[in-house]
């Protein structure tokens, strides 16, 4: 099975695949021959909402080359359900998001996922289940271009516990959201979060 990667840069998405993704009609084809990620990134309109694709018979190799031009940070988070089937959302930086955080030194990614959810929302995770998906997004910090890889896991809590948002992490609210509420939340979230919800069969 061929590898394909979707990397979010603000509201833009860069695909690296062995063929053009079917679901996207409007997508700009980029020549892989002289592709330099840093140049591409610098020239990318910050306010854009475009899809770009690099087509290559070896997407994995191309992705590795891109990674070498970035500082890679690993993170993990959760798609957390309570006993009513409601999903845990947090509100941070004026957008709805899912709890996640950076992997600490010598920490297992699965352990990070649970720890971060518990810290950010004040809940106890009863069960951590399978990996939902991995997401990639790029941003700038202290003049460096960061590629963040996040592993997302399905998780469950007992009952419907009270949530305590971690204010010092900039989380102003945390809430349990039912199916119809999710449709409302996706109007004000990140494309990356919509991908996680899709992979989890929630939108």
The model's pLDDT over 112-166, given as tens digits with 9 standing for 90+, comes to 999 999 999 999 999 999 999 999 999 999 999 999 999 999 999 999 999 999 9
Looking at the predicted structure, is the pLDDT value of residue 190 above 70?
Answer: yes
- pTM for the full predicted model: 0.93
pLDDT for position 47 = 80
75-123: pLDDT as tens digits: 999 999 999 999 999 999 999 999 999 999 999 999 999 999 999 999 9
Mean pLDDT of the chain: 94
Rounded mean pLDDT, 25-45: 89
Question: Counting Cβ atoms within 10 Å, is residue 49 exposed (0-12), middle (13-18) or buried (19+)?
Answer: exposed
Residue 1: pLDDT above 60? no
Share of the chain above pLDDT 70, in %: 98
**What is the reported pLDDT for 45?**
83
Residue 3 corresponds to which tokens in the numbers above? 């590898």
Task: Give the per-residue pLDDT at 25.
Answer: 67
Closest by alpha carbon to 186, among 89, 113, 48, 117? Answer: 89
- Please indicate whether residue 48 or residue 193 has the higher confidence score (pLDDT): 193
The C-alpha angle 24, 74, 82, rounded to 5 degrees, equals 75
The radius of gyration of the chain from alpha carbons, rounded to an integer in Å, stands at 18
């Amino acid at each position: 099975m061929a590898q394909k990667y979707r990397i979010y840069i603000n509201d833009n998405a860069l695909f690296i695949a062995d063929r053009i993704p079917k679901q996207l009609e409007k997508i700009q084809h980029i020549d892989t021959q002289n592709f330099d990620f840093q140049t591409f990134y610098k020239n990318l309109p910050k306010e854009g909402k475009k899809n770009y694709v690099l087509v290559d018979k070896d997407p994995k190799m191309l992705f590795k080359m891109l990674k070498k031009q970035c500082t890679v940070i690993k993170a993990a988070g959760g798609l957390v359900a309570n006993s009513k089937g409601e999903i845990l959302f947090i509100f941070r930086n004026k957008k709805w998001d899912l709890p996640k955080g950076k992997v600490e030194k010598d920490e297992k990614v699965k352990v990070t996922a649970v720890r971060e959810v518990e810290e950010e929302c004040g809940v106890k995770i009863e069960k951590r289940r399978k990996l939902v998906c991995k997401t990639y997004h790029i941003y700038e910090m202290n003049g460096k271009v960061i590629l963040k890889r996040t592993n997302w896991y399905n998780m469950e809590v007992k009952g419907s516990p009270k949530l305590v948002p971690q204010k010092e992490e900039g989380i102003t609210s945390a809430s349990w959201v039912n199916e119809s509420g999710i449709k409302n939340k996706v109007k004000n979230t990140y494309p990356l979060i919509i991908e996680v919800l899709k992979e989890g069969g929630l939108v």
